[in-house]
Amino acid sequence: MSATLEKSTSNGSEKSETTEEQQAKISEIRKLIGPLPEKLAIYCSDAAIARYLRARNWNVKKATKMLKETFKWRAEYKPEEFRWEEIAHEAETGKIYRSNYADKHGRTVLVMRPSCQNTKSTKGQIRYLVYCMENAILNLPPDKEQMVWLIDFNGFNMSHTSVKVTRETAHVLQDHYPERLGLAILYNPPKFFEPFWKVVKPFLEPKTQNKVKFVYSDDPSSKKIMEDLFDMEKLESAFGGNDDSGFNISKYAERMREDDKRMPAFWTRGTPQSAAPPQPMPTLPVDLNSINLSSDSNASDNGKVACSPSHVSDSETLSPNGSLLVNEGSANGSREIH
CA 132/CA 259 separation, integer angstroms: 11
CA 294/CA 105 separation, integer angstroms: 39
Q: How confident is the model at residue 203 (pLDDT cuts 50, 70, 90)?
A: confident
Instruction: Please check the confidence at residue 77 and state whether its pLDDT lies above 70.
Output: yes
Cβ-based neighbours of 198, under 8 Å, separated by 6 or more = none
Residue 312 β-bridge partners: 204
Residue 296 β-bridge partners: none
Q: What is the pLDDT of residue 159?
A: 64
Which CATH superfamily is 38-280+289-338 part of?
Answer: CRAL-TRIO lipid binding domain (3.40.525.10)
Cβ-based neighbours of 60, under 8 Å, separated by 6 or more = 25, 28, 29, 32, 53, 295, 299, 300, 301, 302, 303, 304
pLDDT digits (tens, 9 = 90+) for 13-68: 345 567 899 999 999 999 999 999 888 999 999 999 999 999 999 999 999 999 99
CA 182/CA 137 separation, integer angstroms: 12
pTM for this structure? Answer: 0.80
Calculate the average pLDDT of the chain.
80
CB 140 within 8 A of CB 108: yes
Alpha helix segments (H runs only) across the chain: 19-33, 38-43, 46-55, 60-77, 84-91, 122-138, 163-176, 193-200, 206-209, 220-229, 249-266, 295-298
Q: CA distances (Å), 27 to each of 8, 50, 322, in order? A: 18, 10, 38
Q: What is the pLDDT of residue 326?
A: 43
Which of 8-12, 47-51, 315-319 shows the lowest mean pLDDT across its residues?
8-12
Instruction: Please check the confidence at residue 116 and state whether its pLDDT lies above 50.
Output: yes
Q: What is the pLDDT of residue 318?
A: 60
Instruction: Please check the confidence at residue 8 and state whether its pLDDT lies above 80.
Output: no
Distance of alpha carbon 35 from its chain centroid, rounded? 25
Q: How confident is the model at residue 194 (pLDDT cuts 50, 70, 90)?
A: confident
pLDDT digits (tens, 9 = 90+) for 266-310: 988 543 433 334 333 333 344 555 555 444 434 444 443 333 333
Mean pLDDT over 93-107 rounds to: 97
Q: What is the pLDDT of residue 269?
A: 59
Count CB neighbours of 295 within 10 A: 21
Mean pLDDT over 202-210 rounds to: 77
Number of H helices, E strands in the chain: 12, 7
104 compared with 301, residue with greater pLDDT: 104
Spatial CA neighbour of 33 closest among 17, 14, 48: 48
Contacts 24+ apart (CB under 8 A), 228-232: 228/104, 229/103, 229/104, 229/105, 229/148, 229/183, 229/185, 230/101, 230/103, 230/104, 231/101, 231/104
